[in-house]
Structure 1
Amino acid sequence: MRTELTVDHIDHYRTEGFVIVDELLDADELNTWRTAVDDAVAKRQDRKLAHGDSREGDSFYDKVFTQRLNLWMDHDGVRVLMLDRRLGQMAATLEGVDGIRIWHDQALIKQPWANPTGWHLDNPYWSFSSRHAISIWVALDDATPDNGSLYFIPGSHREANWENSPIGQNMGELFELYPQWATRASVGAPMRAGTCSFHNGLTAHGAGANMTPGLRRAMTCAYMPDGEVFNGQANVLPPEYLGTLKQGDVLENDEINPLLYHISKPCPAVDGQ
C-alpha cells in the first residue's frame, strides 16, 4: 500500500478540501479489496446496516447506489482492511489531528444505469459535528465520467456550515443553500482502480449517473477525529448504544467507533488484530 503523503498532497487537501492519492493499492491488494467487499455485500443481502433492519427499496436514493454500511462489523475480511493503522494515519495527517476513529465504512456500488448522486455534504448527517471529519474513497473499478466518478467544489469546506440537502432527484438542491457555489466550476475526480481520494466532511461533492452496463464499485470509510462529542443525531449508531448517550458525551466506544490511529494513545482494536 502506497501511503506516503507529500507536502503537495497535504496543501492541496487543506486548501481545496479534497486530494487524490494515486495507486494506493497495488494489483494484489486491489484484488483482495474487491474480493472482500464483494463477499461482504453479497452476505449482507439487502440489509444496509450491520445493526437494525434498514433495507434497500425502490426509491430514487436506492437507485443512486447500492449502499452497505459498517461491513467491518460483520465481515472479517473487511475488518482487516478497515482497521489498518496506515489509513488512519493518512487521515490524521491530512487533517492535522492527533487521532482518528472509524465513524462508518460503506460500500458504494453504482449499478448499471444508476441515478446520479446529488450534491451534498457528509458531516451534517453524522452524530458529531467537526470541521476535521474526513473520508477516504477507494476506487475498486476505474471511476470515469461515464460511470459515475466524483466531483468536488474546491474550497467549499472552508465556507460550509451544517446546512445540507438530501441526495434526491434535484441534483443541485445544495446550491439553494449555498448560492455562491452555483457559479463555480466543479472539479472532476476520475480515478483508476486502486487509486483513492480523501475529502473533508464539509466539502461539497456529488457524482454522475452510471451511463454504462458495468458496475462502478467503491469502498469508503468516514473518519471521526478522536475526542468528538455526540450532537444528538442518531445516524448509524446502534439503538442500544444510542440509548446510553446524551448530547455532549464523548464518542469513544471502541466496539462502535474504534480508534484507528493516535499519535500517543494505544489503539486496542487495531493492536489486538
Structure 2
Amino acid sequence: MHLSTAEIERYERDGFLVIEEVLTAAECAELDRATDEVLAEVRAEATAAGKSPDEVLAAGVYVGLSLKSEAFRRLAREPRLLDPLESLWGPDIGFLSDKIVFKSHEVEFGSPWHQDWAYWQGSHKISIWIPLADATPENGCLMLVPGSHRQVFEHDQIKDAGTKGGFGNRLDLVSLGLPHEPVTVPLKAGSAVLFHDLTLHASLPNTSGEPRRAVIVTYRNLAEEDLEYPSLAAAARVRGRAPAGT
C-alpha cells in the first residue's frame, strides 16, 4: 500500500491525503469492541479513584489506547498504515501516540480549528485519522485547509473551564490569511485521512443523533531529531532498524 508518485505530490501540495479502504468492516468492528473495553476500563478506574467517569471522558477523547489494548498495538504496527508513511519518510518510523475521539448524545460538539504541532512541537508528525463508522458532515467528519501545512499559525492559549473538547490551543479562521478555503472530508468506515501536523483541521459537531468514533494514530520520522515525550509510554520504533549503539 505504498503511495504513488501522484499521491505523494498531492500530499505535499495539500498537507493531507485520503486513502480509501485501509481497514475492512470486520477490522473496524473489532476496534469498536476494543474501544468499548478500553472505555469501560477507564470508567472503572475513574470510579475506583473517586472521580466521575463522565467527567474523565467529557472531552470526547481518550489518549493511550495501545497501553490498554492488544488490538490497538497491532493497529499501530499495521503495514497498511506504515507503508504510506515509508513512501513519505523512508523506513525509520516511530509510533508516538494513539487516541479515540468520539461523538454521541453526550459529546456532540465539534473540535475547533488547530494545528497539531501547537501541542506536539518538535519534529513534524503525521497523524492517520480512521473512522470506525462512516464519517459524514452530519455526525462530525473532519474539515481541513489545503496548503496550510506550509506555515505555523499562532494559536490562542485558552485554558478556561468553558473550553470544549479539551482544546487549549485554537484558531479563529476569520483572522487568518488562508491559502485555500476549508474542505469537508467525509469518509467511509475504515478509510483514512493522513495529515501533516501543521495542516489546519477541525471537526463538525455531531447532529445526527448517532455515535461517531474515529481512531487517530500519530507517527514521527525517527531519522529526524525530535523532543522527548516521557508521558507517552507506548512510543516505540515500529519500522526500520535502530542505529548501532542506541
TM-score interval, smaller chain: 0.7 to 0.9
CA RMSD of aligned residues (A): 3.3
CA 47–118 in structure 1, closer or farther in 2 if over 3 Å, else same: farther
Q: Is the 8 A contact 2:93 2:238 kept in 1?
A: yes
Structure 1 spans left out of the alignment, 5+ residues: 239-254, 268-273
Q: 2:177 is paired with a residue of what secondary structure? A: helix
Q: Is the 8 A contact 1:107 1:217 kept in 2?
A: yes
Q: 1:180 is paired with a residue of what secondary structure? A: coil
CA 81–186 in structure 1, closer or farther in 2 if over 3 Å, else same: same
Give the CA deviation at 1:83. Answer: 2.5
- What is the CA–CA distance in structure 2 between the aligned matches of 1:46 and 1:160, rounded to whole Å? 40
Normalised by the length of structure 2, the TM-score is 0.81
User: Identity across aligned pairs (percent)?
Assistant: 26
Alignment-derived partner of residue 196 in structure 1? 192
- What is the CA–CA distance in structure 2 between the aligned matches of 1:256 and 1:229, rounded to whole Å? 16
Give the CA deviation at 1:130. Answer: 2.0
- What is the CA–CA distance in structure 2 between the aligned matches of 1:66 and 1:12, rounded to whole Å? 31
Give the CA deviation at 1:84. Answer: 2.2
Q: 2:188 is paired with a residue of what secondary structure? A: coil
- What is the CA–CA distance in structure 2 between the aligned matches of 1:216 and 1:180, rounded to whole Å? 32
| Structure with higher RCO (Cα < 8 A, 6+ apart) | 2
Q: 1:89 aligns with which of 76, 83, 105?
A: 83
Q: Is the 8 A contact 2:123 2:226 kept in 1?
A: no
CA 117–259 in structure 1, closer or farther in 2 if over 3 Å, else same: same
Give the CA deviation at 1:41. Answer: 2.4
Q: Is the 8 A contact 1:84 1:260 kept in 2?
A: no
Describe the superposition over 1:29-59 as per-residue Cα deviations: whole angstroms up to 9, x where unpaired: 22222222222222222779xxxx9987659
Q: 1:30 is paired with a residue of what secondary structure? A: helix
Alignment-derived partner of residue 176 in structure 2? 179
Give the CA deviation at 1:123. Answer: 1.7
Aligned: 1:219 with 2:215? yes
Give the CA deviation at 1:257. Answer: 1.5
Normalised by the length of structure 1, the TM-score is 0.73
Give the CA deviation at 1:12. Answer: 1.2
One-letter amino acid of the counterpart of residue 155, structure 2: N
CA 86–99 in structure 1, closer or farther in 2 if over 3 Å, else same: farther
Q: 1:211 is paired with a residue of what secondary structure? A: coil
Aligned: 1:164 with 2:155? yes
Q: Is the 8 A contact 2:64 2:234 kept in 1?
A: no
- What is the CA–CA distance in structure 2 between the aligned matches of 1:56 and 1:189, rounded to whole Å? 31
Describe the superposition over 1:125-144 as per-residue Cα deviations: whole angstroms up to 9, x where unpaired: 11x4223x100001101111
Q: 1:45 is paired with a residue of what secondary structure? A: helix
Alignment-derived partner of residue 96 in structure 2? 103
- What is the CA–CA distance in structure 2 between the aligned matches of 1:164 and 1:174, rounded to whole Å? 5
